[in-house]
Chain A
Amino acid sequence: MSKKPAAQPTLHKVIMVGSGGVGKSALTLQFMYDEFVEDYEPTKADSYRKKVVLDGEEVQIDILDTAGQEDYAAIRDNYFRSGEGFLCVFSITEPESFDATQEFREQILRVKNDDNIPFLLVGNKSDLADKRRVPLETCRERAHNWQVPYVETSAKTRDNVDKAFLTLIRQMSRVKRGLAAEEDPAPDDAGRCKPSCCSIS
């Protein structure tokens, strides 16, 4: 079919998780096609692929946009197994979705059986600051507890969308580039701290 390139760029498999209606698909579509879809239609499970240049290196990113409404945890496991990095999304206007991130986190850790799995906590709908119901401090605290970066995004305004994805991909490629963690733990730690420092409210 398509011509076969000599060497395919590295493929990073990202999974979008989070409760229904927090904006996983909106983030994905914004990242993929620079567009914002107003109509809401629950996702079942969609996948996208995109080539991005990350720090001068071309990589492929495979995004699996999962269903927030998935009613059966065992089915969710099957999706999570294939993921190499997770964007755990909640809506800052919806405390329930924030609470649910705890559960997602636990499930991912259980399924992947790896505490250092690339993971990003994303507070979406930052454009709706006036309706904010989850305080920024609470979000940061949770991210800190989990030792993961926290990013606040707006799929509507495209605010921090690329940043959220790219931060995760960077983490993933670092992990993949060899389990450098043991030899050189410094960059890892730096990676961990850095995003949390740059996170913008």
Chain B
Amino acid sequence: MSEIDMDKFAVPDFVPERYVKDLARSCVGGEELQQQKEKIQNLAEETASALKKNVYENYMQFIETATEISHLETEMYKLSHLLSEQRSVLTVLSHASILGNENGLSRESLDNHDVEAERAEEERKNKLNLITEKVESCMNLLDVPDRTLLHEGDLLEIDAEENTALQRMHVYLFNDCLMLTSWISNRRGPMRYKFQVSYPIKNLAVVNVRDLGTVKQAFKVLAFPDTRVFQCNSFAIKKDWLDKFEIAKKLYIEKENSKQKKKDSQEKSKSESIESPSLSVEEMPSPQITPLPEWLADVTEELDVLIVERHFQKTYELMVSAQKALNTEDFKNHPQRVDILKKIEQKQKSLIEILLKDLDVTHNWSLRGGLQSTRQPVLILNKFNMTSQACDLFLTICSYTVKVHVKRVQLEGSINTYVKQVGEVFFCSLSDALTEFISLFPKNKISAFIVWASLQLRILMSQIIKQVFTPQCALDSVQDCVESLREQCTLFCQFGLDLRFQLNSCLRTPIIKALREYKEKTVDSMKNKITEDKWTPVNMHTKAGVNKFLKQMETLGLILAKYVINETWVDLSSSTIWFTKSIVTIQKIGLQLVNKDMMDNLDEYIYTIFNSWLVLASVNDISYAKKNFKFILETVMPLMLRCYKEEVGYDNEKLVALAKNYGVSITPSKNITKYTSNEYL
């Protein structure tokens, strides 16, 4: 009983009490019990960790599966989108080729009120779909392109011969047919009615039953060979039905009439065109009219096929060659010429529509193809003189890609690396877009790109500024970010587009703001620093600490080795060190950050900080404080002046004036190219 039988625990009717009892009975002495307890404890721990591991593993798998699923979902979505698009293209095409000539009027208005019509179409489809859902084994309501529901309602069917009630019906009247459905008595699910029969309107005759013995408010539907009699609940309902039937009939007649007219005119033209070749056969030589070659006669069908197969380039070529051929002397007077040209124009319209849709980023544009996928549609659109639209759409796509690319950069680690990456990504996308743009569009469009690029830059900068120029962000990391952006921008100049001015103008306000905030912060804490100062040398505790301090100062331009006393002490007060760091930092970084137009602000900030320090520090009478004051005036001040001049090329006049006020003699800086270490030693 020393080993624990794991299987025991797994039994479904495991009872812990009984197990413990058994254990207690079989174990001899407390020691063995202790051992058993330990074993069970170990087991519990092992199980727990195994469980954890399992959970973790499952968790990872779950996450993977979930992402996979979401990927698949988007794929499916895209696919369905594509399919539905294809479908709409097909219906449009079939409409155009089969019924296209039939109602030119409605087509025209369709073009005009495209959006409205589309919405109405959507509504209509929804309505029909709803009906389809309600009716069991319903016929395909959507197979007729412009079918609409005119009326529906419950009616009682009466036996036409015997005047007795037969069944309850639900009747739908469409503009082209009447659909009879019976009620499902024990219905389950969404189906409420069962499809019985549908009669086309053209075979339908409706009779108002004036007198049918006891049956009131009835009407008859004659659909040879059937005669169906329906009873309504009220006179108003019957009147409604009869009126609706009347409407359906009128619509049908109208349609039929227009069809007839079209047919007549077509037949006329056809008979003309038939006549002419037959004439030429009979009367042998007929030089005026040569029959169309086969490819030209079938050109519209061929164009349809090409559009469906998305051979847009070929479609375009065929269009052009067909148009060219039709405009030659051979076919100038051909009876079908105008007709074919009109049809080609129609196809051209639909082709342009498809191309524009392809380029529409809101519609279904996938990043995967990259910008290259826009080439074909753009080039064809250019040929159709649609350059501006193509350009707009192309730039929208570019905006989209830039946005997506920038979004993909994740804020990990320091802000500096993030900004650097974002800058890289941004300018890379920009250069991609630019090269693509130059290859696609004529030169006169480049201004659009410049406008677009500077807009993009502004958008990007507004985002970056929000993240970088925060009060929490140190001045030096701001400098890093700005520098990397400037560097990228300068690199981008190689592509022939200089955006540095735009970049700097975006940065101007935030930089000034950052410097001002730094100044305010420094001035604010200055008083505290001075009052809290004990005016003694500062202990750096370790040698490494001292070295670190010296190195820090060296990067600021100060060699302070001679101020080190007793190995770990620095012979300067804490506030002096703090001020030295602050003032030198703002000048050093400020000079990197600002452009010429911001120099005034920087000068003023430096002056304000320095001046307020001198005012505060000069009142102190402690001798050590005086020594520190002297250090600031004689060491830091000249260094600042020198660095400034070196960097900018002229003196900081405000600071010079301040120095003179405090009696600092400014060493002539002619021979100084770089301050040597001895000078401050």
A interface vs B, CB < 8 Å?
A: 1-2, 4, 8, 11, 32, 44-50, 64-65, 71-72, 74-75, 78-79, 81-82
Question: Chain A contacts of B305 at CB under 8 A?
Answer: none
Question: Chain A contacts of B203 at CB under 8 A?
Answer: 78
B203 nearest CB across to chain A (Å): 6
Question: Chain B contacts of A50 at CB under 8 A?
Answer: 211
Could you list some 22 contacts between A and B, CB below 8 A?
A1-B163, A2-B213, A2-B215, A4-B162, A44-B242, A45-B206, A46-B208, A46-B209, A46-B210, A47-B209, A47-B210, A48-B210, A49-B211, A74-B256, A75-B205, A78-B204, A78-B205, A78-B222, A79-B207, A81-B222, A81-B225, A82-B222
A78-B223 CB under 8 A given contacts A1-B164, A71-B253: yes
B669 nearest CB across to chain A (Å): 108
Q: B646: CB under 8 A from chain A?
A: no
Q: Contact: A45 with B207, CB < 8 Å?
A: yes
Q: Which 7 A-B pairs have the closest CB atoms?
A: A78-B205, A81-B224, A48-B211, A45-B207, A47-B207, A82-B222, A79-B205
Closest B residue by C-beta to A83:
B222
In whole angstroms, how far apart are the Cα atoms of A97 and B537 in the complex? Answer: 131
Q: Which of B80-96 contact A (CB under 8 A)?
A: none
Question: Chain B contacts of A82 at CB under 8 A?
Answer: 205, 222, 224, 227
Q: Which of B194-233 contact A (CB under 8 A)?
A: 202-215, 220, 222-225, 227
Closest B residue by C-beta to A29:
B210
Size band of the interface chain B makes with A: 20 to 34
Q: B161: CB under 8 A from chain A?
A: yes
In whole angstroms, how far apart are the Cα atoms of A50 and B223 in the complex? Answer: 23
A72-B253 CB under 8 A given contacts A1-B164, A4-B162, A49-B212: yes
A164 nearest CB across to chain B (Å): 19
B248 nearest CB across to chain A (Å): 11
In whole angstroms, how far apart are the Cα atoms of A72 and B246 in the complex? Answer: 13
Q: Identify which of A45, A78, A81 contacts B208 (C-beta below 8 A).
A: A45
A80 nearest CB across to chain B (Å): 9
Q: B459: CB under 8 A from chain A?
A: no
Question: Chain B contacts of A1 at CB under 8 A?
Answer: 158, 163-165, 214-215
* Cβ contacts B161-186/A at 8 Å (1 or 0 each): 11111000000000000000000000
B7 nearest CB across to chain A (Å): 77
B624 nearest CB across to chain A (Å): 117
Dominant SS among interface residues on chain A? mixed
Closest A residue by C-beta to B206:
A45
Q: B249: CB under 8 A from chain A?
A: yes
Question: Chain A contacts of B205 at CB under 8 A?
Answer: 45, 75, 78-79, 81-82
Q: Identify which of B158, B164, B206 contacts A4 (C-beta below 8 A).
A: B164
A114 nearest CB across to chain B (Å): 14
Question: Chain A contacts of B211 at CB under 8 A?
Answer: 32, 47-50
B249 nearest CB across to chain A (Å): 6
Q: Contact: B253 with A2, CB < 8 Å?
A: no
In whole angstroms, how far apart are the Cα atoms of A82 and B207 in the complex? Answer: 11
A75 nearest CB across to chain B (Å): 6
Q: Identify which of B161, B224, B242, B246 contacts A78 (C-beta below 8 A).
A: B224
Question: Chain B contacts of A49 at CB under 8 A?
Answer: 211-213
* Cβ contacts B237-281/A at 8 Å (1 or 0 each): 000001000100100010010000000000000000000000000
In whole angstroms, how far apart are the Cα atoms of A48 and B209 in the complex? Answer: 6
Q: Contact: A47 with B204, CB < 8 Å?
A: no
In whole angstroms, how far apart are the Cα atoms of A50 and B213 in the complex? Answer: 8
Question: Chain A contacts of B212 at CB under 8 A?
Answer: 47-49
B164 nearest CB across to chain A (Å): 6
Q: Contact: A75 with B253, CB < 8 Å?
A: yes
Question: Chain A contacts of B227 at CB under 8 A?
Answer: 82
Q: Contact: A11 with B224, CB < 8 Å?
A: no
Given A50-B211, A75-B205, A78-B204, 18 other A-B contacts at CB below 8 A?
A1-B163, A1-B214, A2-B213, A4-B162, A4-B164, A45-B206, A46-B209, A47-B210, A47-B220, A48-B212, A49-B213, A64-B207, A72-B256, A78-B224, A79-B205, A79-B222, A81-B205, A82-B224
B244 nearest CB across to chain A (Å): 13
In whole angstroms, how far apart are the Cα atoms of A71 and B253 in the complex? Answer: 9
Most buried by B among A4, A46, A64, A75: A75
B630 nearest CB across to chain A (Å): 115
Question: Chain A contacts of B207 at CB under 8 A?
Answer: 45-47, 64, 79
Closest B residue by C-beta to A11:
B161
Question: Chain A contacts of B224 at CB under 8 A?
Answer: 78, 81-82
In whole angstroms, how far apart are the Cα atoms of A32 and B213 in the complex? Answer: 12
Question: Chain A contacts of B209 at CB under 8 A?
Answer: 46-47
A12 nearest CB across to chain B (Å): 12
In whole angstroms, how far apart are the Cα atoms of A65 and B220 in the complex? Answer: 12
In whole angstroms, how far apart are the Cα atoms of A8 and B220 in the complex? Answer: 19
Most buried by A among B164, B222, B253: B222
In whole angstroms, how far apart are the Cα atoms of A50 and B227 in the complex? Answer: 18
Question: Chain B contacts of A47 at CB under 8 A?
Answer: 207-212, 220
In whole angstroms, how far apart are the Cα atoms of A166 and B158 in the complex? Answer: 27
Q: Contact: A2 with B161, CB < 8 Å?
A: no
A2-B164 CB under 8 A given contacts A49-B213, A71-B253, A72-B253: yes
A60 nearest CB across to chain B (Å): 9
Closest A residue by C-beta to B211:
A48
A133 nearest CB across to chain B (Å): 31
Most buried by B among A64, A72, A74: A72
Question: Chain A contacts of B208 at CB under 8 A?
Answer: 44-47
Question: Chain B contacts of A8 at CB under 8 A?
Answer: 161-162
Question: Chain A contacts of B162 at CB under 8 A?
Answer: 4, 8
Closest A residue by C-beta to B199:
A78
B415 nearest CB across to chain A (Å): 80
Q: Which of B134-167 contact A (CB under 8 A)?
A: 158, 161-165
Q: Contact: B256 with A2, CB < 8 Å?
A: no
Most buried by B among A1, A8, A11: A1
Question: Chain B contacts of A45 at CB under 8 A?
Answer: 205-208
Question: Chain A contacts of B242 at CB under 8 A?
Answer: 44
In whole angstroms, how far apart are the Cα atoms of A109 and B253 in the complex? Answer: 23
In whole angstroms, how far apart are the Cα atoms of A1 and B231 in the complex? Answer: 12
A69 nearest CB across to chain B (Å): 12
Question: Chain A contacts of B213 at CB under 8 A?
Answer: 2, 49
In whole angstroms, how far apart are the Cα atoms of A4 and B158 in the complex? Answer: 13
B206 nearest CB across to chain A (Å): 6
Question: Chain B contacts of A46 at CB under 8 A?
Answer: 207-210
In whole angstroms, how far apart are the Cα atoms of A163 and B213 in the complex? Answer: 23
Question: Chain B contacts of A74 at CB under 8 A?
Answer: 202, 256
Most buried by A among B209, B211, B246: B211
Question: Chain B contacts of A48 at CB under 8 A?
Answer: 210-212
A45 nearest CB across to chain B (Å): 5
In whole angstroms, how far apart are the Cα atoms of A47 and B215 in the complex? Answer: 12
In whole angstroms, how far apart are the Cα atoms of A4 and B204 in the complex? Answer: 29
B223 nearest CB across to chain A (Å): 7
A24 nearest CB across to chain B (Å): 13
Closest B residue by C-beta to A43:
B208
In whole angstroms, how far apart are the Cα atoms of A32 and B222 in the complex? Answer: 22
